Chains A and B, each alone.
Chain A
Amino acid sequence: MDIQAWTFLLVGLSFALYVGVAVFSRAKSTQEFYVAGGHVPPLANGMATAADWMSAASFMSMAGLISMMGYDGSVYLMGWTGGFVLLALLLAPYLRKFGKFTVPDFVGDRYESRVARVVAVVCALFISFTYVGGQMRGVGIVLSRFLEVKVETGVILGMGVVFFYAVLGGMKGITWTQVAQYCVLICAYLIPAIFLSIMVAGTPIPQLGFGGAGADGVPLLQRLDGLHRELGFASYLDGSKGLLDVACITAALMIGTAGLPHVIVRFYTVPRVRDARKSVGWALIFIALLYLTAPAVALFARTNLLDTVNGQPYEAMPDWFKQWEQTQLLSWQDRNGDGLIQYVGAASASANELTVNSDIIVLANPEIAGLPNWVIALVAAGALAAALSTAAGLLLVVSSTISHDLLKRTFLPRITEKGELIAARCAAAAAVVAAGWLGIHPPGFVAEVVAFAFGLAASSFFPALLLGVFSLRMNAAGAISGMIAGLGFTSSYILWFKFLHPELSNPANWWFGISPEGIGALGAALNFAVALLVCRLRPPPSAAVQRLIQDIRVPKA
């Protein structure tokens, strides 16, 4: 069978599986729609969280980015996993004990303030929409490459599937589909990685191959590092970012992860506080299976790519090269007219002729390595699973934020349970359409926008939630001014360097050499400082809130 037939088969089967699971576990009450009734076992919740959290970016882009950035790519590895430690130790158990439906719910109740709730609603909606657009785009790209349809058609197909199970199933449906999606995506990631590891390093365990030696006995990392220096790329083992910048980006991604609303709500779905604690651990194990493999894949892919293309005649390039050229994610320009491909870095004397978009590394890997057609199709199904599971989690945040926080808790307090459930479904449906629109008309700077989402989550939600649990003194005035200061500072810095003056965005102009990707760390620090200062100027929270805080700090009811 050819690649397209295999893709139709595997993608079709996986879609049928997701829809089947959703029909089987559809939500019948708001409790089930928002938090799956609070009956999800910790292990299953860990798996669902892993799928929820790992997006098209983790699956498709991360290994490619690491393979381009070398050591600098560690910011994603440490940042996106280290955030789970913060989540486990500082937020998940307490929010589970609080036991409501959404993140703005906690902010609103803890600070007894409608303004705080609405600020939280705006942050949640902004973060979710920026993120979901990228997922739908990812779906479109995968379907267009492997099924040879237009990107738009791909996005619409993806919308259809998400629409079906998010609108019908709510959190309950999403949870069990995410469990299925995790299984699909992790197989799709590990199988090609194992093949590659056998091919490049002679061992089936990618993590061993990563630290192992090639056929010539030289450690693969040293060999690639040498190759990088020789070709004028930044050293693979040292990277090129400043230390403080690396630390700030890592911190911003960690804090942002712990503040992402669609991840936090997953811990509302387990039965007990104890389960919430353990469940984060399971989630990180499932995530680490991919995250510990990604840097190995990055190394194998980079070595493979450099060996395959460099100094070779264009005429001799295999099929995959020309197919990816059609998507314009790979392009070659014969600057010196010798018919050979020169792929070199900035420090090289000769001109670079090849542009490789880092997004294609994972998708093209099986083809570059000459793996069987079913593996290539499986990778497509895995990428779709990663994108769809994250999109569904985000859409649910949008829908519950609108129906619960805006309608039920702010504007229409007398809405019935049935009315709220209908509103939630309508909001989910509208959100799917909006997400699809963003996928078809992407803002053109998906990567920047995602950096934005993390910066905002780090500088707005995380400090407000943390102080809400750990400080009895923190009041609405402190929390709101902190959120506004953090949000305002972070977004102006990002807007300035990413959108208004991208030409000025270099280490010489950045404050302390901190890039816009890392500024969320400073924004979070500012949020803490402002909140702690302003809260002193106003009276402490009411006795009822003090009791609420005492209550969420202990697991026993």
Chain B
Amino acid sequence: MQNSPVTTDTPARAHWRANLRLTGLLLLVWAAVSFGCGIFLRGWLDQWTLPGTGFPLGFWFAQQGSILVFIILIFVYARGMNRIDEAHGLREE
């Protein structure tokens, strides 16, 4: 980025940094529920069942839980980005 011949104004840069932070954090959760709980930790988590159901916990993450978390992540992102846009005065008309 330091090679960039374009001078970037501060609000846009701060906006981009905040954007990257939020995106990175959410992708961490995304990987944790799918590759973590749904795949690599699945066998270990299966020793418990989801309370009140017959689902082995890891299996539940793989076939139900991860999808529910994905939906939440996208809406958290949409809302979080709207807030970031506003905070940096970059909200579109």
- Chain A contact residues, CB within 8 Å of chain B: 66, 71, 73-74, 77-78, 81-82, 84-85, 88-90, 93, 207-208, 210-213, 219-222, 237-238, 243, 246-247, 250-251, 254, 272-274, 277-278, 280-281, 284-285, 288, 291-292, 295, 472-473, 540, 543, 546-547, 550, 553-557
Q: Closest residue to A291 on the B side, CB-wise?
A: B67
Q: What residues on A are CB-neighbors of B43 within 8 Å? A: 238
- Count of chain B residues near A, Cβ 8 A: 50
Known: A89-B27, A221-B59, A291-B67. A78 touches B74 (CB 8 A): no
A295 touches which of B6, B30, B63 (Cβ 8 Å): B63
A481 to B39, CA, bound (A): 32
Q: What residues on B are CB-neighbors of A550 within 8 Å? A: 6, 8, 12
Is A221 within 8 A of B81, CB to CB?
no
Interface secondary structure of B, over-half rule: helix
A85 touches which of B15, B30, B46, B90 (Cβ 8 Å): B30
Known: A78-B34, A85-B30, A555-B91. A71 touches B67 (CB 8 A): no
Nearest Cβ on chain B to A472's Cβ, whole angstroms: 5
A272 to B82, CA, bound (A): 12
Known: A237-B59, A292-B64. A547 touches B6 (CB 8 A): yes
Per the 8 Å Cβ criterion, residues 43-92 of B in contact with A are 43, 46, 50, 53-56, 59-60, 62-64, 66-68, 70-71, 73-75, 77-78, 81-82, 85, 89-92
A208 to B60, CA, bound (A): 12
- Chain B contact residues, CB within 8 Å of chain A: 1, 3-6, 8, 12, 15-16, 19, 23, 26-27, 30, 34-35, 38-40, 42-43, 46, 50, 53-56, 59-60, 62-64, 66-68, 70-71, 73-75, 77-78, 81-82, 85, 89-93
Is A246 within 8 A of B90, CB to CB?
no
Is B92 within 8 A of A557, CB to CB?
yes
B77 touches which of A89, A208, A288, A556 (Cβ 8 Å): A89
Interface CB pairs A-B, < 8 A, 12: A81-B66, A85-B26, A85-B74, A90-B23, A207-B64, A213-B54, A219-B53, A251-B35, A278-B78, A281-B71, A284-B71, A472-B1
A82 touches which of B55, B66, B75 (Cβ 8 Å): B66
Nearest Cβ on chain A to B48's Cβ, whole angstroms: 13
Q: What residues on B are CB-neighbors of A247 within 8 Å? A: 35, 39-40
Q: Closest residue to A280 on the B side, CB-wise?
A: B74
Is B67 within 8 A of A211, CB to CB?
no
Q: What residues on B are CB-neighbors of A284 within 8 Å? A: 70-71, 74
Q: What residues on B are CB-neighbors of A81 within 8 Å? A: 66-67, 70
Is A77 within 8 A of B70, CB to CB?
no
Is B74 within 8 A of A281, CB to CB?
yes
A81 to B34, CA, bound (A): 10
Is B70 within 8 A of A211, CB to CB?
no
A52 to B26, CA, bound (A): 26
Is A221 within 8 A of B56, CB to CB?
yes
A277 touches which of B12, B30, B78 (Cβ 8 Å): B78
Is A288 within 8 A of B16, CB to CB?
no
A285 touches which of B1, B15, B71 (Cβ 8 Å): B71
Is A288 within 8 A of B68, CB to CB?
yes
A71 to B3, CA, bound (A): 48
Q: What residues on B are CB-neighbors of A82 within 8 Å? A: 30, 34, 66, 70
